Copies of this chain bind each other. A is one copy, B any other.
Amino acid sequence: MIRLLLADDEELLRGALCSLLDLENDLQVVAQAATTTDTVRLAAQHRPDVAVLDLEMPPTDGLHAAAQILAGADGTPPRIIIVTRHARPAVLRRALAAGVSGFVPKSTPAARLAQIVRDVAVGHRYVDPEIAASALTENECPLSDRELEVLRAARTGAQVSEIAAAVHLAPGTVRNYLSSAMAKLGVATRHAAAHRAWEEGWI
């Protein structure tokens, strides 16, 4: 019997997946969570074999939760499967770096999930083939850490002075980073750059 932890902030999806997976008679959902904090707590408490985590979850995100679970486990940590709607190569890279075993976009047929869970439970890794292919062909994120940082701060439409305060840099420096990020992305405004970087899964 494979013991599962299911984490997703959307009750509808989590509930539907729960009953779907519980139908399989070698799978058992032992805990459910809607937040990353609950996820980490319940993983430590129930020690599931496999944790299926949505990437987009408050208050942080699935990757943070995965890292915490893997770091905090004494003994063998659970295998972790990340499920996401925002399935971009860059996100896949970050997920694999965090040590997750499975990466599944929400465009995967529901029927296949149970099999992926079984594969991962016995130690295999599963990565959506489509995204894996993109990750191998698409170019890396061209932006530096600082550039990503200022773009993150620019996402809500803030002015330079606000961004500068948020990242603890001089306003002029922020403008330089924004400028180089825009040049790298081939766009004309910081906001277009932030939008683009977000779409690509870089921030």
A positions within 8 Å CB-CB of B: 9-20, 23, 83, 85, 104, 106-111, 113, 155-159, 187-196
Residue in B closest to A8 when the chains form the complex, CB atoms = B106
For the complex, what is the distance from the CA of A106 to the CA of B155, rounded to whole Å? 25
B11 and A109 within 8 A (CB): yes
Interface core residue of A13, A107, A157, A189 (most chain B CB under 10 Å): A157
Knowing A13-B16, A17-B16, A106-B10, the reply to whether A195 touches B111 (Cβ < 8 A) is no
A192 and B11 within 8 A (CB): no
Interface core residue of A20, A85, A113 (most chain B CB under 10 Å): A20
For the complex, what is the distance from the CA of A194 to the CA of B159, rounded to whole Å? 14
Q: How many copies does the complex hold?
A: 2
Which of B18, B155, B157, B187 contacts A190 (CB under 8 A)? B157
For the complex, what is the distance from the CA of A9 to the CA of B106, rounded to whole Å? 9
Considering the complex of A and B, which 4 residue pairs feature the smallest CB-CB distances, nearest first?
A: A15-B110, A157-B192, A157-B191, A16-B16
B10 and A16 within 8 A (CB): no
For the complex, what is the distance from the CA of A157 to the CA of B185, rounded to whole Å? 13
Output the least CB separation between A171 and chain B (Å): 15
Q: Which residues of B contact A16 (CB under 8 A)?
A: 13, 16-17, 19-20, 110
Which of B9, B83, B156, B195 contacts A157 (CB under 8 A)? B195
Q: Which residues of B contact A158 (CB under 8 A)?
A: 189, 192
A193 and B20 within 8 A (CB): no
Q: Which residues of B contact A83 (CB under 8 A)?
A: 12
Output the least CB separation between A62 and chain B (Å): 15
